[in-house]
């Protein structure tokens, strides 16, 4: 530990801390431009100069490490002058076109000049201009589908290029020329088009890189920022919605270091069009004479509930079924299953409409094999080896992908095995391509190599010698050997794969959609567990097998009991379980299920056999679809109820690592749509049940009481503190 004094205040910090960090701890602000705590420090802009006693020249706070007895001043006349000087230099060529600059109001240059700059300009000469096309407005240049560049405003901090290189591992943005002519640019005709490009608009301290979709639409101070969670994938990045009235203008990161480290993917950042889309469902629709036509809410609710009651009365509760969704909140899903279990009286509940191969349901002890992630997102970057199996990580889980790239930067080995090459393969020490559906044969080959060459960790694995012998027999059988030939992976490749695995100090395995929906999913997962055990990693922090779910609330949907055989919190159903989605379809075809209520799912687009689903669902007496847009499934429904989007409701999502995070409402449900939970309450009440919840908070409270895994969570502080809301 090191003791130092900054502006007369003493502080003790760890060795290796920079002056900037130490000052931050004391609440002393030191202005910076080129510093970003996720990037390598370059000490280039000199904005952070401070005075250090006994050192004649001012030092950069961002890169100077503290030493014992150091006396630092951040408020001396010299420092004040230096800041003025640096800002004056930056303004020499800066166009000061704040009135027409999209960054105005949230520009770091504007703010720092306001705070530390000079009130006079001594500059009379002409300014440097980067004229890209004499006809272009303000010298703007589109350098990619999302990004507009205005080089006149650039202050050469290079944070954009460093982000693209270091964090995203891409090289589609670069620094050209030098000195006052330095220019941030793409290669001619190669636009910046990586899935993380939007981050540069947030990282750029000035209006040099701005977002195509946001710019010139509104001034930022006319918008309001609502903290919430990204609905686009299971990673659950923390975001802010910037809205005015009932419209989203943009989405930015609301940094959460446990999840996103302050970055978003472009899908999450720019893909919010659906919220204000003109095709949003605005009113309930009922099919009459083969045509969907608008109907008032009360009439629709009456129609639905009387149909449900009629069917229940005639053929029993089990002739109804409910399909929830990993895209709606825990509260909505919880109410949905409660509606089916207590109002309708059936366990025919599921949400897994995208696969015929379902994993066994977990039990209350949630460290079940078939349950989501064993590790946290943050642990990924700490693992010495990461094996990505059956997953296009960049597409499926963009932010987790960044953690893998981070691990790689820290020197970890990356192994990738997929049926087709993915973009992550460029970082893979070993990138294997196996023939689709030969995962088990490939893994048997890997296990066999470990066992036959005695490279397993006997002591740590906890396997008895007879267990090892059983395993050996299985993976070394002539069938297994023959099967290995079909994988398309040669013996040499297996050897080097195994070599990396047995050497690693920790192993994190990430499995994607290809594994989860695999016909042999259970077998594959078991083999991976064997692999982790054989290498002696089963009880280690930075090791484990992780299944990466698809949707923003896939985990929560499981947690809330949208399963035919589990209540919320994976409590086993005492009697006969209900039907899963595959069996529901069979039952529809046998005439046993007559009505289906689908909330937020779109089986016609998601199920592997579209025609089968389409013809099956077409046989229902009542197909009720509740969604925000006319989905493929909605098109064949007889009743459609307009739900609210993620921006229009409160609630919680549980992300892929089991973190329960709160969504906040940016504006009321558009037109005549309603939040899913509210619709369920209306239906339940019309059927004579109480369902009196004032807000999603009430529902969440009930959920924490019912579900052992959510117990003790507090709505008010959810997602605010680090530990809060993390299951496991």
Partner 1 sequence: MLSEIAKKKISELKTKFPERKSAILPAMHMVLEEVGFYNKDILKQVAGLLGLSEMEVAETVSFYTYFPKEGVGKYHIQVCTNLSCMLLGAEGLVSYLEEKLKIKVGETTPDGIFTLSAVECLGSCGTAPMMQVNQIYYENLNRAKIDQIIDDLKMKK
Contact set with partner 1 (CB under 8 A): 171-179, 181, 187-188
For residue 626, what are the β-bridge partners? 599, 641
Q: Does residue number 214 form part of the binding site for ligand FES (CB under 6 A)?
A: no
CA 150, CA 129: separation in Å to the nearest integer?
10
CA 530, CA 444: separation in Å to the nearest integer?
10
What's the closest the beta carbon of residue 16 comes to ligand FES, in angstroms? 17
User: Which of partner 1, ligand SF4, ligand FES, none has residue 187 at its interface (CB below 5 to 8 Å by kind)?
Assistant: partner 1
User: Among the candidate windows 149-157, 435-443, 563-571, 704-712, which touches ligand SF4 by CB under 6 A?
Assistant: 149-157
Among 22, 23, 34, 513, binds ligand FES (CB under 6 A): 34
What's the closest the beta carbon of residue 265 comes to ligand SF4, in angstroms? 3
Taking the least distance from each CB to ligand FES, the nearer of 36 and 649 is 36
Cβ pair 606, 631 in contact under 8 A? no
Q: Does residue number 155 form part of the binding site for ligand SF4 (CB under 6 A)?
A: yes
Among 49, 143, 147, 184, binds ligand SF4 (CB under 6 A): 184
User: Among the candidate windows 234-242, 440-448, 488-496, 693-701, which touches ligand SF4 by CB under 6 A?
Assistant: 234-242
Taking the least distance from each CB to ligand FES, the nearer of 159 and 351 is 159
Among 5, 11, 21, 43, binds ligand FES (CB under 6 A): 43
CA 384, CA 399: separation in Å to the nearest integer?
19
Instruction: Identify which of 206, 167, 170, 208 has the alpha carbon closest to the alpha carbon of residue 187.
Output: 170
User: Which of ligand SF4, partner 1, ligand FES, none has residue 407 at its interface (CB below 5 to 8 Å by kind)?
Assistant: none
Cβ pair 229, 251 in contact under 8 A? no
Give the x-and-dash track for 46-85 against ligand FES (CB under 6 A): xxx-----------x-x-----------------------
Q: Does residue number 393 form part of the binding site for ligand SF4 (CB under 6 A)?
A: no
CA 416, CA 390: separation in Å to the nearest integer?
8
CA 483, CA 190: separation in Å to the nearest integer?
44
Q: How many residues bind ligand SF4 (CB under 6 A)?
A: 27
Cβ pair 596, 623 in contact under 8 A? yes
Sign of the alpha-carbon torsion through 212, 216, 221, 227: negative
Q: Does residue number 595 form part of the binding site for ligand SF4 (CB under 6 A)?
A: no
Q: Which of residues 648-687 bind ligand SF4 (CB under 6 A)?
A: none
Q: Does residue number 384 form part of the binding site for ligand SF4 (CB under 6 A)?
A: no
Query: Can you give the C-alpha Rg of the chain in angstroms?
Result: 29
Relative orientation angle of helices 478-486 and 439-452, to the nearest 10 degrees: 120
CA 46, CA 62: separation in Å to the nearest integer?
9
User: Which of partner 1, ligand FES, ligand SF4, none has residue 174 at its interface (CB below 5 to 8 Å by kind)?
Assistant: partner 1
What's the closest the beta carbon of residue 130 comes to partner 1, in angstroms? 13
Where are the extended beta strands (E) located within 53-173? Answer: 59-60, 71-73, 141-142, 147-149
Taking the least distance from each CB to ligand FES, the nearer of 48 and 239 is 48
User: Which of ligand SF4, partner 1, ligand FES, none has residue 178 at its interface (CB below 5 to 8 Å by kind)?
Assistant: partner 1
Cβ pair 226, 240 in contact under 8 A? yes
What's the closest the beta carbon of residue 415 comes to ligand SF4, in angstroms? 22
- The enclosing H or E element of 413 equals strand 413-418
Backbone angles phi, psi at 474, to 5 degrees: -65, -50
Q: Does residue number 248 form part of the binding site for ligand SF4 (CB under 6 A)?
A: no
Instruction: Identify which of 193, 250, 177, 171 has the alpha carbon closest to the alpha carbon of residue 218.
Output: 250
Token pair listed for 607: 């199920």
Q: Does residue number 146 form part of the binding site for ligand SF4 (CB under 6 A)?
A: no
Q: Does residue number 563 form part of the binding site for ligand FES (CB under 6 A)?
A: no
Among 112, 264, 321, 323, binds ligand SF4 (CB under 6 A): 264
User: Which of ligand FES, ligand SF4, partner 1, none has residue 724 at its interface (CB below 5 to 8 Å by kind)?
Assistant: none
What's the closest the beta carbon of residue 157 comes to ligand FES, in angstroms? 7
User: Which of ligand SF4, ligand FES, partner 1, none has residue 117 at its interface (CB below 5 to 8 Å by kind)?
Assistant: none
Q: Does residue number 416 form part of the binding site for ligand SF4 (CB under 6 A)?
A: no
Cα atoms in the Cβ-side hemisphere of radius 13 Å centred on 145: 9
Taking the least distance from each CB to partner 1, the nearer of 171 and 257 is 171
Instruction: Identify which of 594, 589, 601, 676 has the alpha carbon closest to the alpha carbon of residue 633.
Output: 601
Pairing of strands 507-511, 385-389: parallel
CB atoms under 10 Å from CB of 499, counted, come to 14
What's the closest the beta carbon of residue 60 comes to ligand FES, in angstroms? 4
What's the closest the beta carbon of residue 123 comes to partner 1, in angstroms? 16
What's the closest the beta carbon of residue 298 comes to ligand SF4, in angstroms? 37
Sign of the alpha-carbon torsion through 369, 375, 376, 380: negative
Length of the chain: 728
Token pair listed for 107: 């520009």
User: Among the candidate windows 44-52, 119-127, 383-391, 602-610, which touches ligand FES by CB under 6 A?
Assistant: 44-52
Instruction: Identify which of 624, 632, 622, 676 has the alpha carbon closest to the alpha carbon of residue 650.
Output: 676
Distance from chain centroid for Cα 526: 26
Q: Which residues bind ligand FES (CB under 6 A)?
A: 32-35, 43-48, 60, 62
């Amino acid at each position: 530990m090191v003791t130092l004094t900054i502006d007369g205040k003493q502080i003790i910090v760890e060795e290796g801390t920079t002056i900037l960090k130490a000052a931050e701890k004391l609440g002393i602000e030191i202005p910076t431009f080129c510093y970003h705590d996720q990037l390598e420090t370059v000490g280039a802009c000199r904005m952070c100069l401070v005075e250090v006693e006994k050192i004649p020249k001012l030092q950069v706070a961002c890169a100077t490490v503290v030493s014992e007895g150091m006396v630092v001043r951040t408020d001396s006349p010299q420092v004040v002058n230096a800041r003025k000087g640096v800002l004056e230099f930056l303004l020499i060529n800066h166009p000061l076109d704040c009135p027409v600059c999209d960054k105005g109001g949230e520009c770091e240059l504007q703010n720092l000049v306001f705070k530390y700059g000079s009130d006079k300009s001594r500059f009379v000469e002409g300014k440097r201009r980067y004229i890209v096309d004499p006809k272009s407005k303000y010298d703007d240049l589109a350098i990619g589908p999302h990004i507009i560049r205005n080089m006149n405003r650039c202050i050469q901090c290079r944070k954009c290029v460093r982000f693209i290189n270091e964090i995203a591992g891409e090289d589609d943005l670069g620094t050209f020329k030098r000195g006052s002519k330095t220019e941030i640019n793409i290669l001619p005709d190669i636009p910046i088009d990586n899935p993380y490009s939007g981050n540069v608009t947030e990282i750029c301290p000035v209006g040099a890189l701005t977002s195509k979709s946001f710019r010139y639409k509104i001034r930022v101070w006319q918008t309001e920022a609502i903290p919430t969670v990204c609905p686009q994938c299971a990673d659950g990045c923390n975001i802010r919605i910037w809205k005015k009235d009932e419209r989203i203008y943009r989405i930015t990161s609301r940094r959460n270091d446990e999840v996103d480290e302050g970055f978003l993917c472009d899908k999450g950042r720019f893909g919010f069009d659906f919220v204000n889309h003109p095709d949003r469902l605005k009113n309930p629709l009922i099919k009459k004479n083969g045509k969907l036509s608008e109907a008032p809410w009360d009439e629709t609710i009456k129609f639905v509930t009387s149909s449900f009651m009629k069917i229940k009365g005639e053929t029993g509760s089990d002739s109804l079924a409910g399909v929830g969704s990993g895209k709606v909140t825990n509260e909505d899903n919880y109410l949905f299953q409660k509606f089916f279990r207590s109002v309708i009286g059936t366990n025919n509940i599921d949400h897994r409409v995208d696969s015929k191969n379902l994993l066994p349901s977990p039990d209350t002890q949630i460290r079940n094999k078939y349950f989501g992630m064993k590790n946290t997102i943050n642990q990924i970057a700490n693992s010495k080896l990461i094996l990505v199996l059956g997953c296009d990580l960049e597409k499926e889980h963009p932010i987790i992908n960044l953690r893998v790239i981070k691990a790689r930067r820290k020197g970890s080995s990356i192994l990738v095995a997929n049926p087709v090459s993915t973009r992550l393969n460029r970082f893979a020490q070993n990138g294997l391509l196996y023939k689709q559906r030969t995962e088990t044969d490939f893994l048997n080959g890997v296990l066999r190599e470990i066992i036959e060459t005695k490279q397993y960790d006997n002591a740590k694995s906890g396997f008895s010698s007879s267990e090892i012998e059983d395993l050996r027999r299985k993976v070394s059988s002539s069938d297994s050997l023959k099967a290995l030939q079909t994988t398309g992976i040669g013996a040499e490749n297996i050897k080097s794969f195994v070599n990396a695995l047995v050497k690693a100090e920790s192993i994190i395995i990430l499995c994607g959609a290809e594994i989860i929906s695999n016909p042999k999913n259970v077998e594959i997962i078991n083999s991976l567990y064997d692999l982790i055990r054989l290498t002696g990693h089963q009880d280690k922090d930075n090791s484990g097998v992780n299944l990466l779910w698809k949707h923003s609330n896939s985990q929560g949907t499981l947690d809330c009991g949208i399963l035919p055989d589990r209540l919320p919190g994976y409590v086993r159903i005492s009697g006969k379980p209900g039907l899963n989605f595959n069996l529901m379809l069979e039952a529809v075809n046998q005439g046993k299920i007559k009505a289906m209520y689908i909330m937020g799912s779109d089986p016609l687009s998601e199920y592997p056999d579209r025609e089968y689903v389409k013809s099956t669902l077409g046989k229902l007496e009542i197909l009720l679809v509740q969604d925000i847009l006319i989905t493929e499934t909605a098109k064949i429904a007889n009743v459609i109820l307009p739900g609210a989007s993620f921006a229009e409701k409160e609630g919680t999502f549980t992300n892929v690592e089991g973190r329960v995070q709160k969504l906040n409402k940016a504006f009321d449900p558009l037109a005549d749509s309603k939040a899913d939970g509210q619709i369920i309450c209306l239906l339940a009440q019309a059927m004579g049940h109480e369902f009196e919840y004032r807000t999603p908070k009430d529902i969440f409270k009930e959920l924490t009481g019912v579900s052992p895994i959510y117990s003790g969570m507090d709505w008010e502080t959810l997602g605010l503190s680090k530990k809060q809301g993390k299951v496991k």
